[in-house]
Structure 1
């Protein structure tokens, strides 16, 4: 399978899963509500985030973050495309990683364009210590980053010594 097809299929699956799950949350939960699924460990929540990861710039007193994150995401999509173009056709981890990152970025971009904020709904915690809520797009971006790290490690260990 060609690298563009593989990355595109992965991205499309992520976008669909991300948007379907966000629609389900928006249609079935009240904003800022929570439903306990595994007591002391996991809730399904409906929260929104105008900022980025971990609530960076998620503030109501600034109005430019929507435009800022849309522009940054579009620039990132260009960078991902350029990286994919230069990727070896046989580097499954890098191609897959870029597909996951691409799908996650587009999933959250859709939210920013349509709603001005990103819907998050997965709340993992232990006791009173909560990880910031996240979504399928965020998971995909993290998995993509992990695949990229694996690719870098594999390519480094396969490179000839040049000392």
Structure 2
């Protein structure tokens, strides 16, 4: 009988992917560019476009970065799927982390492929200081990265 692998966590990638793309669709259909709705004293829904990566890294370039980030998302997702296939199913924290990063990376990749930019809309701020606007794909990627860091401390193996 074949040993079950971490690939069974890909359902989580699909959920993250659908949540991300559905939320971006709703923003694009219901907001004008730069339109903002205040929901809490520290949070707005604000429609912006990101032509770069995190914190608009490389956004001011001529367009080559779009293909770079699409390729990067595909490579990273491919590597993580490979690692999921090699991971046993009981490595839940690591498999969850990989699945969330895959879902987020592919969500931003599809957005970038379709629009040429990534739709961002989660706008947190304090007074006049705004954190860079982001989306659910970014949230899933950050949670995945955080889980990997937690897993590395939790399962630290000493080799002597």
Q: TM-score, normalised by structure 2?
A: 0.92
Could you tell me which residue of structure 2 aligns to residue 38 of structure 1?
40
Q: Does 1:26 align with 2:18?
A: no
Per the TM alignment, residue 87 of structure 1 is displaced from its structure 2 partner at its CA by 2.3
- 1:73-117 CA-to-partner distances (Å, cap 9, x unmatched) read 111112212222332331110000000000000100110111110
* Runs of at least 5 residues in structure 2 that lack an aligned partner in the other structure: none
Further displaced range: 136-145 or 88-97: 88-97
How do 1:132-151 residues align onto structure 2 when only pairs under 5 Å count? 132-151=132-151
**Partners of 2:84 and 2:95 within 8 A in 1:** yes
Per the TM alignment, residue 144 of structure 1 is displaced from its structure 2 partner at its CA by 0.4
Q: TM-score, normalised by structure 1?
A: 0.91
Q: Does 1:16 align with 2:18?
A: yes
**Partners of 2:123 and 2:131 within 8 A in 1:** yes
Further displaced range: 131-140 or 142-151: 142-151
Secondary structure of 2:113 counterpart:
helix
Q: Does 1:4 align with 2:38?
A: no
* Runs of at least 5 residues in structure 1 that lack an aligned partner in the other structure: none
Per the TM alignment, residue 33 of structure 1 is displaced from its structure 2 partner at its CA by 1.2
Alpha-carbon RMSD: 1.4
